[in-house]
Amino acid sequence: MPEHTFILNGERVTVDIEDDVRLLWVLRDVLGVTGPKYGCGLGVCQACTSHLNGRAFTPCCVPVGELAPGDEVTTIEGLPATVGAELHPMQEAWLEFDVAQCGYCQPGQIMAAVAKVRQAREAGREIGEADLDEIRNICRCGTYHRIREAITAAAKRY
Amino acid sequence: MAGVGRRRFLGYVLAASTLTVAAQVGEAGEAAAAVPSLPEPADLYDLNDMLTDAALPTSGLITVQVHEDGTASLALPRAEVGQGVTTSSAMLVAEELELPLEKVRVTLADARPELLFNQLTGGSNTTVSTFTPIRVAAAVARGRLLAAAAGLLGVPLAGLVAKAGVVGAPGGRSVTYGELAVRAASGVDVAVSVALKERAQFTVIGTPRGRADALAAVTGRKQFAMDVKVPGALPVMLCRPPTINGTVRAVRNADAVRAMPGVTDVAVVPTGVAVRARTFGQCIDAVRALQVDWGPGTEDGASDESVLKELRAAELPLVVPPLPLLTKAVDARFTFHFASNSALETNCAVADVRADRAEVWASLKSPIVAQEKIAARLGLPPTAVTVHVTEGGGSFGRKLFHDAALEAAEVSRAMGKPVRLMWHRTDDFRQGRTHPMATSRVRATYSLGQVLSCEQRHTSVATDFGHGLGEIITAMAAKLPVADLAFSETMFALTQQTPYDFGVTTQLLSEVDKGFNTGSMRGIYSPNVRTAQELVVDRLAAGTGSDPYTFRRRFLKEDRARAVLDKVAELGDWGRTMAAGTAQGIALHPEYHSVVAVLAEIDCRPQTTGRTVPDAYTGPRVTKVVCAVDVGLAVNPRGLEAQMQGGIMDGIALALSSGLHLQDGHFLEGSWDNYFYTRQWNTPPELQVVVMPPTTGSPGGAGELAVAAAMAAVACAYGRATGTMPTVFPVNHGGPLGFEPLPTVPPVPQSPTDGRTRAY
């Protein structure tokens, strides 16, 4: 079976599995990293959103064979370490606004939010209503309003 | 602190190594105040009352334990599916036990058959039915800790004060609950009577608190069923039929599929062909590779049009007697299409079935029924089946049932191995349960400014109440052909009410067609029944030359309803001048001793409805929502606010965008980009929820409350903005489909491979 090596939450990992298995299943079923959730496997619901080299992506849509040894995958479990803290400021804002209900989509929501803030900054502006409208992550509990509040507040703090 | 004449409640100290207490409540909840003029059944005694009364005989078995580390724990016989009941239950313990909230742990109890009726999560009933028993148990524990402290410190009980997990004595001596946990324990069961705090003494109840599981949720540590690590439980997915409840005739290539990478087993079960593999990705590959000959299902050939015909044929007649001359009437008929109650976590369960026993892990709101049904299917005694209730990733009615748990048990038995079974998203929409399609005919008559009658005939595809009241006997009764209709009629009568004094008022249900997989969805009948009625109220207001708000205000039966209506009209600036194509709508919904009002503003102008978002439906945008809610007493106002916000998002979706299309025996929708639940681009930029101050002093239901009022308010706003009363829901149902339907064979799509290029 082919071997695949990449960096997961700051640590080098190697897995033996077929090339075409999507990264989500490698994370969840092989490596036991369960922060990224399954919601569709179609790149639609965005519940598995994580970061690949600092950019938001859906691991359900990336065959593990496409990862190179230098690729850095960050899941919700590894997000705090990217800022060297117990929690990322986005997670702190999520607690402050008590965003989560069932919580199933929230790891993906937070990872998407961090990327949206970065994306807006790269475009030379702070995150606004139009950016928030672009977030595709589904929350079936309907926490959308608090997600907007939390992102807007967090963006002012880091 | 017991005041003279205060009600006392009986509790128990149970024999245990550390202090363990239980509560038994000896009296029923307070009866609702009668309302004048022809009350409907639900005004007096509603579903929530029935659930509360059904829970009474055994609710004494709710126990609270105090541990040596100074914490207390409660195993809640309910499901947590995002509604915040673990948090609010912890608040009740913290209040009466005088322990900081963060030192109270609430876990979810396994299926406990001895609890009978008292392990059903539904009907917005959790806080209502456990409000007193949990507090009684905590109060017994506090009394016992105080007594133990008196013995230890050698001081009279009267001088002791319990606060923040510490018992303090005069002179500054103190002892912690943790130090008292063993000493306060009892070697035998002891009955004691306690008084509960008066409302004025509350320091926790009624204060806004964050969710107990918030940190676990934001760090990804919260464990759902598919995150539970059970040795050897490899992923399982099913290849499901192309039509609703189709059947397996033959599998043509089982051996070839068994030889695919990662695949360990292939087995036929009643619902399809199961494959077990190292990863779910390899399950998907195998499901797509399976060549299956399918037999007919239960609804082959059925379409939205054919079901609508059935509904129309089954509509009960209206019965209003001949009316005086000059009486005018509003006569309207509404169609509510199938809607999906699919949660973000698809149906899933872990099962480990052995020859003589079985163990199942799943989020279940009716775990006793699950246990009994799984046992019956496996031919095992119920005592040999252990059912663990996990945290749930949303429910919306789905988790009242145990479809995945039963399926996982069957697959585990067929393969002789532990399994981690999960439904694909596409299956969850197409073969999963739905909120049934329904029509509602409303006829109201009025004369000289008075409403003389309001009749409503709701006709629905049968709703499966097979989860019963949390207990096998009632579950079986609901399956009986004769009892069944009476049961749903009972549910209808216990949940539907008209908040207005509209003279002769009747609301009746008839049901057709049991071939669909259905279930309750947040509010059962209410969102549709309410929306139909509120739209007619707007017509009545127009017919009598009245403003929709003042018209409602005039006819409302209860002051509590009038207060929330006034609140949203005031905060939402009702009647303000708005641009053409935009409008306000206002609606009200009473349910389970609570009442909510919603004011919505909508923008139906072309520049808004014409917005483009890739692979999405944009449509009209609800730009502002103001909601006022009175639940009698809000245990956790912050959690209540979250419930209202979620209900509002549901109401917007049900009114405008989220419905299923039935065609040729299957539903067309197969992903969240087909089924248009509210997304960020549909979310109201302005949203305000006001929690009214306590009125009745005891909590009413809240979990489903806002959906109906929000759907109705949005529908009314849409009607006023467009100048045409909407009669089909969601309003976009008849428009262009908005997506390319996925194939039905193979039943699930392959995952894309372009994730890297779509990174942002």
What pLDDT, on a 0 to 100 scale, did the predictor assign at position B25? 43
Give the up-direction half-sphere exposure of residue B606: CA atoms within 13 A in the CB hemisphere: 0
pLDDT of B12 higher than 90: no
Please check whether residue B230 is in contact with residue B398, taking contact to mean a CB–CB distance below 8 angstroms.
Answer: no
Q: What's the Rg (C-alpha) of chain A?
A: 15
- In this structure, whether the domain defined by B304-319+328-339+433-729 belongs to CATH 3.40.50.1000 is answered with no
Mean pLDDT, to the nearest integer, of A134-152? Answer: 98
* Chain A residues 58-97 with CB within 8 Å of chain B: 58-63, 66, 75-77, 80, 87, 91, 94-95
Domain count, chain A: 2
Q: What is the domain extent for residue A151?
A: 81-155
Distances in Å between the Cα of B706 and the Cα atoms of B468, B596, B718 are 24, 7, 18
What pLDDT, on a 0 to 100 scale, did the predictor assign at position B39? 47
Please check whether residue B407 is in contact with residue B126, taking contact to mean a CB–CB distance below 8 angstroms.
Answer: no
Give the Cα separation of B441 and B368 in Å (integer). 38
- Chain B residues touching A143 at Cβ < 8 A: 642, 645-646
Give the up-direction half-sphere exposure of residue B336: CA atoms within 13 A in the CB hemisphere: 30
| B565-588 confidence digits (pLDDT tens) | 999 999 999 999 999 999 999 999
Identity of the residue in A24, A44, A110 whose CB atom sits nearest the CB atom of B218:
A110
pTM of the model: 0.94
| B638-660 confidence digits (pLDDT tens) | 999 999 999 999 999 999 999 99
Q: What percent of chain B has pLDDT over 90?
A: 75
Instruction: Report yes or no: B394 at the A interface, CB cutoff 8 Å.
Output: yes
pLDDT of B114 higher than 70: no
* Chain B residues 645-664 with CB within 8 Å of chain A: 645-650
| B718-746 confidence digits (pLDDT tens) | 999 999 999 999 999 999 999 999 999 99
What residue spans in chain B does CATH classification 3.30.365.10 cover?
Answer: 8-29+36-219, 225-298+347-422, 304-319+328-339+433-729
pLDDT of B299 higher than 90: yes
> A92 and A53 in one domain?
no
Distances in Å between the Cα of A105 and the Cα atoms of A30, A80, A129, B215, B734 are 21, 18, 21, 14, 31
* Final residue in a domain of this structure, among A80, A99, A132: A80
What pLDDT, on a 0 to 100 scale, did the predictor assign at position B650? 98
Residue B48 banded pLDDT, cuts 50, 70, 90: low
Let me know how many helices (H) and strands (E) chain B has, helices first. 20, 31
Instruction: Look up residue A50 and give its amino acid.
Output: S
Instruction: Report yes or no: A18 at the B interface, CB cutoff 8 Å.
Output: yes
Give the Cα separation of B525 and B538 in Å (integer). 20
Identity of the residue in A61, A110, A142 whose CB atom sits nearest the CB atom of B754:
A61
Mean pLDDT, to the nearest integer, of A38-43? Answer: 98
Instruction: Report yes or no: B603 at the A interface, CB cutoff 8 Å.
Output: no
The answer to whether A44 contacts B396, with C-beta atoms less than 8 Å apart, is: no
Give the Cα separation of B348 and B244 in Å (integer). 19
The answer to whether A44 contacts B672, with C-beta atoms less than 8 Å apart, is: yes
What pLDDT, on a 0 to 100 scale, did the predictor assign at position B2? 38
What pLDDT, on a 0 to 100 scale, did the predictor assign at position B470? 54
| B139-178 confidence digits (pLDDT tens) | 999 999 999 999 999 999 999 999 999 999 999 999 999 9
CATH number of the domain enclosing A73: 3.10.20.30
* Chain B residues 273-332 with CB within 8 Å of chain A: 278-282, 284-285
- How many C-beta atoms lie closer than 10 Å to residue A147's C-beta? 27
Greatest alpha-carbon span in chain B = 85
Of B52, B134, B122, give the one whose Cα is nearest residue B87. Answer: B134
Helix/strand/coil (H/E/C) assignment for every residue in B69-119 = CCCEEEEECCCCCCCCHHHHHHHHHHHHHCCCHHHEEEEECCCCHHHHHHH
- Chain B residues touching A30 at Cβ < 8 A: 278-279
> A133 and A103 in one domain?
yes
Complex ipTM > 0.85: yes
Q: Give me the architecture of the B8-29+36-219 domain, per CATH.
A: 2-Layer Sandwich (3.30)
Tokens 């009245």 sit on residue: B546
What pLDDT, on a 0 to 100 scale, did the predictor assign at position B29? 32
Query: Could you tell me whether strands A55-57 and A50-52 are parallel, antiparallel, or unpaired per DSSP bridges?
Result: antiparallel
String of DSSP letters for B211-229: -TTHHHHHHT---BGGG--
- Chain B residues touching A107 at Cβ < 8 A: 217-218, 220
> A151 and A106 in one domain?
yes
- In this structure, whether the domain defined by B225-298+347-422 belongs to CATH 3.30.365.10 is answered with yes
The answer to whether B673 contacts A98, with C-beta atoms less than 8 Å apart, is: no
- Chain B residues touching A77 at Cβ < 8 A: 219-220
- Chain B residues touching A80 at Cβ < 8 A: 219
- Residue B586: CB partners within 8 Å, gap ≥ 6? B548, B549, B552, B565, B568, B569, B572, B574, B597, B598, B599, B600, B713, B716
What pLDDT, on a 0 to 100 scale, did the predictor assign at position B46? 64
Give the Cα separation of B443 and B458 in Å (integer). 12
| B199-225 confidence digits (pLDDT tens) | 999 999 999 999 999 999 999 999 999
Q: Output the CA angle B438-B444-B447, nearest 5 degrees.
A: 170
In sequence order, the β-bridge partners of residue B589 are B596
What is the distance in angstroms between the Cα of A102 and the nearest Cα belonging to chain B?
A: 3
Handedness of CA B141, B147, B149, B151 (dihedral sign): negative
What pLDDT, on a 0 to 100 scale, did the predictor assign at position B112? 75
- Chain A residues touching B212 at Cβ < 8 A: none
